Amino acid sequence: MFNKILIANRGEIAVRVIRACREMGIGTVAVYSEVDRAALHVRLADEAYLIGPAPSPQSYLRIDRIIETAKLAGARAIHPGYGFLSENAEFAMRCEEEGLVFIGPSSHAIRAVGGKTAGRSLASAAGVPVVPGTTRDLTDQEVVQAVREIGLPVVIKASAGGGGKGMRIVSTEAMLPGAIRATRSEASAAFGNPAIYVERYLGAARHIEIQVMADTRGNVVYLGERECSLQRRHQKVIEESPSDFVDLELRCRMGEAAVRLAKAVGYTNAGTMEFLVDPSRNFYFLEMNTRLQVEHPITEMVTGLDLVKEQIRVAAGEALSVRQDEIQLRGHAIECRIYAEDPFNNFMPSPGRIRALRTPGGPGLRIESAIYEGCEVPIHYDPLISKLVAWGRDREEAMERIRRALSEYVVLGVTTNIPFHRQVLNLPQFVAGEINTETLESWLAKGLTSDNGAFADIALIAGALYLHTRKRATTSPMGQGGQGDSAWKLAGRQDGLRRR
């Protein structure tokens, strides 16, 4: 097992990996940009190293600096989290060349299925149904020709894309020139690769993904599915596991197809196969994400597995801890992605300082977060500040718990999309489980309702009361009514000093 792991990421995923490592008795190394000096992942790690200015290309995307830091710190392995370099084959290869373990698939596997067109070709060869479209990168003229052959509507996609970026739906041929330019531009900026391809657009379909885990000994399992159909601008907003639409027969067919594709490429570690499923339960392979997913906590909640620990054990050469026949889905889990953004102002990012924070609690709740009172939410990165997860014995209980949790969640200093989630969770289509990839966009086109004003007022009042209570607690004598918040802070600082 590794004695020390460097986490090549930031935010809540870096905190998530650090916590898993600490439970396993593994030392942790954080890297950070200049604006992240006081970030929670920096505070929690055993060691932390500055790697550059705020812009990602000068810090979190600098392969040379990350590898140099790992060697300097004596880390034997690097966990990439998700985003940034997590699906970068060059980064994985450099780790291999430098004698470092990349906690993820091999560089060969990333190249084979991480590229969207290559993944589609492999899936087709493995007998996995794919969405009709091209299987190689195209020139602008080839895009036009492909669209005429496939038929409208289509989606123009970045070959190196992910996270809903680098995608344009085209419903008329007149839209093509602008869509091609926009997709290439976004792909270059986000992934450093302007390559694009074309797929037929399947409207009113469900976006279902299958989590797979594979070790270096040839064992591959699938861990159920995640319902990811509620999307805005092709980015997931709320995820569930299991899907209310998927029955046992479909789950087995999709899971077996995902395992077949993983074995075909010699895949190891965590990965996710994304599918579109039509109303008749026909499924089509979209792409494979060769990394841990943002929404992995809901799979953990219903399977009881710790996917990060599983990743680390597999990377260290150990066998998977479970067989396929041992995996059972228990209950239901829902995840809301909490962003620092204003849903009533076209979801514009809302950077700033967290002035007050009250997180929900109670049975069945889990919060993955990297924020704390007084921390800064920078403008330079994705505005995801936390993930709120609720588990219940069934879907109804999970929905009740996450609604209650959202009513307790207060973040002051930045605007968040918490009111937006409250509305989405009460949509009749969501409550009935009758959703697809167009549900949220269709609803948003009608405009958000204004009933969130009352909730905003309640949040402000609650925040003001919370700040007032904290102020009184910090001035109260030690030993009267508890040790007070100042004592709690002091204990936290002392604990941090001992760890370091």
What DSSP assignment string belongs to 304-339?
A: ---HHHHHHHHHTTPPPS--GGG----SEEEEEEEE
Mean per-residue pLDDT, 214-218:
97
Mean per-residue pLDDT, 116-123:
89
How far apart (Å, rounded) are the C-alpha atoms in residues 438 and 457? 31
**pLDDT confidence of residue 452:** 47
pLDDT tens-digit series, residues 385-443: 999 999 999 999 999 999 999 999 999 999 999 999 999 999 999 999 999 999 999 99
How far apart (Å, rounded) are the C-alpha atoms in residues 474 and 487? 8
pLDDT tens-digit series, residues 277-292: 999 999 999 999 999 9
Provide CATH 3.30.1490.20 ranges for the chain: 132-200
Least confident of 156-160, 194-198, 214-218: 156-160
**pLDDT confidence of residue 470:** 61
Number of helices (H), then strands (E), belonging to the chain: the values are 17, 22
User: Is the preceding peptide bond at 242 cis, omega within 30 degrees of 0?
Assistant: yes
3-state SS string over 79-112? Answer: ECCCCCCCCCHHHHHHHHHCCCEECCCCHHHHHH
Provide CATH 3.30.470.20 ranges for the chain: 206-452
Nearest Cα neighbor of 349 from 374, 388, 387, 380 is 380
Nearest Cα neighbor of 200 from 235, 167, 248, 151 is 151
CA angle 205, 258, 327 (to 5 degrees): 105
Mean per-residue pLDDT, 210-217:
98
pLDDT tens-digit series, residues 372-401: 999 999 999 999 999 999 999 999 999 999
User: Is the preceding peptide bond at 153 cis, omega within 30 degrees of 0?
Assistant: yes
DSSP tag of 37: T
Residue 15 pLDDT > 70:
yes
How far apart (Å, rounded) are the C-alpha atoms in residues 255 and 30? 35
Query: Is residue 493 annotated as a catalytic residue, yes or no?
Result: no
DSSP 3-state of 208: strand
Nearest Cα neighbor of 159 from 196, 134, 122 is 196
What are the contacts of 32-39 at 24+ separation with CB within 8 A? 32/59, 33/58, 33/59, 33/60, 33/380, 34/59, 35/376, 35/378, 35/380, 36/10, 36/378, 38/375, 38/376, 39/10, 39/11, 39/370, 39/375
**pLDDT confidence of residue 496:** 33
Provide the β-strand partners of residue 254. none
Least confident of 8-22, 160-174, 322-336: 160-174
**pLDDT confidence of residue 487:** 31
Mean per-residue pLDDT, 462-470:
60
**pLDDT confidence of residue 469:** 62
Mean per-residue pLDDT, 316-332:
98
Reported as half-sphere exposure (CB side, CA atoms, 13 A), residue 103 has a value of 29
Provide CATH 3.40.50.20 ranges for the chain: 4-103
Q: Binning pLDDT at 50, 70 and 90, where does residue 461 land?
A: low
Residue 127 pLDDT > 60:
yes
How far apart (Å, rounded) are the C-alpha atoms in residues 464 and 184? 46
* Residue type (1 letter), 96: E
Q: Which two tokens stand for residue 266?
A: 């010699």
Neighbours of 300 (CB within 10 A): 21
Residue 161 pLDDT > 90:
no
Mean per-residue pLDDT, 57-78:
98
CATH of domain 4-103: 3.40.50.20
Q: Of the listed 291, 395, 401, 422, which one is catalytic?
A: 291
Mean per-residue pLDDT, 311-326:
98
How far apart (Å, rounded) are the C-alpha atoms in residues 211 and 223? 5
**pLDDT confidence of residue 454:** 46
Q: Is the distance from CB of 412 to CB of 463 less than 8 angstroms? A: yes
CATH of domain 206-452: 3.30.470.20
Residue 310 pLDDT > 60:
yes
* Residue type (1 letter), 129: P
Domain 132-200 CATH superfamily: ATP-grasp fold, A domain (3.30.1490.20)
Backbone angles phi, psi at 351, to 5 degrees: -70, 165
Q: Is the distance from CB of 261 to CB of 126 less than 8 angstroms? A: yes
Buried b (16+ CB within 10 A) or exposed e, 138-163: beeeebbebbeebeeebbbbbbbbbb
**pLDDT confidence of residue 493:** 30
